[in-house]
Structure 1
């Protein structure tokens, strides 16, 4: 994989890349498949060490992924993500039509362990979690949603939207009722990100192009294809 071709932003401290869907950011405990860590050495740009992940995206989520180029940068990025100071915008295609045009989901999330795997569930004893959302477009069955997670829980957007009857297209875990759609991959894209990295300076920003696998359903929902879809 040519990660340099997927670079969205670069300076002395921070890199932002357009992560492809279907690639894990790092290897799982029992997973020998390819992961993003194997290619990060391409992004050294003269530094003695490869950059490191400042946060995570799910394997099947595409879009903006932030890397720190050295320890000082990673420490600052860690502070920003831990304090929920990073503005993250996701695009999702969901099945169903909400009654309102926007809303705020505040539902605590908890990890449920099972013999055959795990999943996140809404549970009063879980961690506080909040997602703001609004409708960007729709067709008869699908809705194009902009989601802004105000907290950073695992699978947060997927679980929150499913909990209000709006499962994501292509979601094999939380997407009941979406199996008849031609959506082999999860329709969730980290569209843009804004990092207030240096006080009194404008934030670092980046926008990731729409991936190929989401373009068709987004067009059905009214997205104007004015950009070249990415992979």
Structure 2
């Protein structure tokens, strides 16, 4: 891993009410603290400074930006946790990937497992891996790259990054899975654009969007 120098931009609150708060996480900032004092600065800590009761539901990789939801009450944490468990939430990501994809849409169904000698990297493992499914749709392509929308059906660690690599189109700027010129970008070109869920108070459907910065 590279040295940890998280961005110091102010918090971007996309929505907050009595049960939940949704934030646009910047690339380069950990969702939760890592091991050691030097990895203490994270979105969770910054959010708790403003919303002291904030509770974790899920996380995004350090280098991924975009929508994250936090609970503000134990009830909301249980309610949202169950939605994640039952795969009732919907997330859409935007990515820029290496190479021009031949097809317009598709699904990747490749099981993943941690690559122990190289952790936190993940890898495809048909015997022991956990099911991981990603739908994808090309937005546009040209100049040796493709802009693609990714709709994960499961929530495995590094799922989108490994699935794109498996298709031969690593996400640009990926410090783990891209090599050579594909890695040579200022950030990982992966952004969580929209998040759909049912509100813990009343079950109303909500759709929150964070504008893609690239």
Does TM-score exceed 0.5, indicating one fold?
yes
Structure 1 residue 37, shift from structure 2 partner: 2.3
Match of 2:50 in 1: 43
Runs of 4+ with >2 A deviation? 41-44, 176-181, 196-202
Give ranges in structure 2 of 5+ residues lacking alignment.
Answer: 1-8
Match of 2:139 in 1: 136
Match of 2:56 in 1: 53
Match of 1:65 in 2: 68
With the length of structure 1 as denominator, give the TM-score of the two structures: 0.83
Aligned residues: 204
Cα–Cα, structure 1 residues 156 and 177, in superposed 2: closer, same or farther, change >3 Å?
Answer: same
Match of 1:225 in 2: none
Structure 1 residue 201, shift from structure 2 partner: 5.1
Structure 1 residue 113, shift from structure 2 partner: 1.0
Match of 1:221 in 2: none
The DSSP-based 3-state class of the residue aligned with 2:83 is helix
1:144 and 1:72 map into 2 onto residues whose CA distance is 38
Structure 1 residue 177, shift from structure 2 partner: 4.2
CA contact (8 A) 1:40 1:50 kept: no
With the length of structure 2 as denominator, give the TM-score of the two structures: 0.89
Deviations 1:23-67 (A, max 9, x none): 0011122462321222122432xxxx4212211000000000000
After TM superposition, the structure 1 = structure 2 runs for residues 9-24 of structure 1, keeping only pairs within 5 Å, are 9-24=15-30
After TM superposition, the structure 1 = structure 2 runs for residues 71-220 of structure 1, keeping only pairs within 5 Å, are 71-114=74-117, 117-124=119-126, 125-179=128-182, 181=184, 183-197=185-199, 202-211=204-213, 214=214
CA contact (8 A) 2:136 2:149 kept: yes
2:50 and 2:205 map into 1 onto residues whose CA distance is 22
Structure 1 residue 200, shift from structure 2 partner: 7.6
The DSSP-based 3-state class of the residue aligned with 1:148 is strand
The DSSP-based 3-state class of the residue aligned with 1:53 is coil
